[in-house]
Structure 1
Amino acid sequence: MAKAIDRTRETRARKLDWRKRMSDNIAYALLVYTGLQIFVTVHALKSGSASLLPYLALVVLVAAIIPACRMFEARWMKISDEAAADPALRSAYRRDQAYLWVLAIGLPFALTGLFKLIAATV
């Protein structure tokens, strides 16, 4: 009976891997980010903006998201195998997950809006 309980705990510990979960979140966030960025940039271009600012916004946004994602992933990839399965890291994981998704969803709108504001004042 004790062996069965130990195997169940080991199976759960193997399934819980904060590193893999963060890596998966980063992959999905990049897909969402890219889709939003394309949508927002195309919308800005269709709105009659004759300047190069929407294109500059696209370059800046691509350059901004890659280091941010690397930062999140590096933080989680350097933890040990034991720590990767530690349920006590749930709050830290959820915090980083929330920051990642706020960046992925908010950054395209915020920076494109900033560039549109700059274009309107120039």
Structure 2
Amino acid sequence: MTSLGFQSAAAEGREVDVKKLVDSFNAIEEGTPSEPYDSNGDGKADLREKQDEDGNKIMEMIDFNHDGVMDDFYYFTDGIITLRKIDSNFDQKIDVWVYIKEGKYIEKYERDMDYDGNVDQVKVFGEEG
């Protein structure tokens, strides 16, 4: 635990290394990968996704700032988004986790605000306190 009472993202079993998340995307064997999409014509994929055999999304990656490195990672269950991982400062380390309920409600988000690998801010929605 950090002095603020939050564990490091790595200690909680969350992968923070963007390269490892891309490797996990490439390792998904089920379903079909979509054709990489290059939105700005620079020859580098800006969007990649994999779908299951029924055409439901499993995972999607986006290169938000067009630097050739994926920054946003979306995870789906039965085609419904459940988790988004974001590299908000483009240092190739995840620093925002957004947990999504029923594909549309933000249930919780966590942020590493000083980019040291520790979650510094947690906001839970829908809880009465």
TM-score, normalization by structure 1: 0.27
TM-score, normalization by structure 2: 0.26
Relative to total residues, which structure has the larger strand share, 1 or 2? Answer: 2
* Structure with more relative contact order (C-alpha pairs < 8 Å, separation 6 or more): 1
Relative to total residues, which structure has the larger helix share, 1 or 2? Answer: 1
